[in-house]
Amino acid sequence: MENQEKISITTKTLASGNCQVKFFIENEEKPQYGYLLVSEPKPVGEIIDEIKQRMERRKSSTFSMNPYLSIPQVQEDHNFYLFSA
């Protein structure tokens, strides 16, 4: 059974016009927090979906590191930062 994670966010509009989203992922085993930079304000549901997609991409890129497969290197995402709490 997969753990349900609760994601809470706070947003801040920067002087550049971009929107900084600070998010918290509440998970008993591995709580995390991070930041997402978006170019325009978005609805909360869209922001949470984008966070989930980026986390999934990061997770799949770390699990697919097989030295025998020719997989293109994943570019670093400078608009998404994730930390362990």
For residue range 25-61, list pLDDT tens digits in order: 998 888 999 999 999 888 999 999 999 999 888 877 6
Global pTM value: 0.75
What one-character-per-residue DSSP string does the chain give?
-PPP-EEEEEEEE-TTS-EEEEEEEE-SS--EEEEEEESS---HHHHHHHHHHHHHHHHHHHHT--TTS--PPPPP-TTEEEEE-
Q: Which tens digits make up the pLDDT trace of 70-79?
A: 555 556 788 9
Q: Which tens digits make up the pLDDT trace of 1-22?
A: 344 679 999 999 999 999 999 9
